[in-house]
Amino acid sequence: MLSLRPNCECCDRDLAPDSPDVRICTFECTWCRDCAENLLGNACPNCGGNLVQRPVRPAHLLQKYPASTERVLSSLPQCQDRRQARRTA
């Protein structure tokens, strides 16, 4: 079962479990659509795999199988720059 991580690993933007703007790789590295398309070229920088739209867990199942609350952040320099830019904006 997907963990449905709560944030973009690059810019740290909050990502709702039902958002259509979330991209994941086969290892469930999680990115917002903007970072995936405009910074990462739709390729996961961790494994090199392609990024696809994350499936949406139906709302009635989120109660029984809630989304993760664990935030994961990338150490890529361009991601650190994006996070810093978001904080100062």
Q: pLDDT (tens digit, 9 = 90+) per residue, 23-81? A: 999 999 999 999 999 999 999 999 999 999 999 999 999 999 999 999 999 999 999 99
pTM: 0.92
Residue 83, pLDDT score: 95
Q: Round to whole Å and give the CA distance between 10 and 1.
A: 23
Q: How many domains does the chain contain in total? A: 1
Question: In which domain, by residue range, is 49 found?
Answer: 22-88
Over residues 7-22, mean pLDDT: 97
Q: Which residue type, as a one-letter code, is found at position 72?
A: V
Over residues 2-28, mean pLDDT: 97
Residue 89, pLDDT score: 79
List of E strands, 16-59: 22-24, 30-32, 52-53
Does residue 72 lie within any of the structural domains? Answer: yes
Does residue 9 lie within any of the structural domains? Answer: no
Helix, strand or coil, per DSSP, at residue 5: coil
Does residue 7 lie within any of the structural domains? Answer: no
Does residue 53 lie within any of the structural domains? Answer: yes
Does residue 74 lie within any of the structural domains? Answer: yes
Over residues 7-13, mean pLDDT: 98
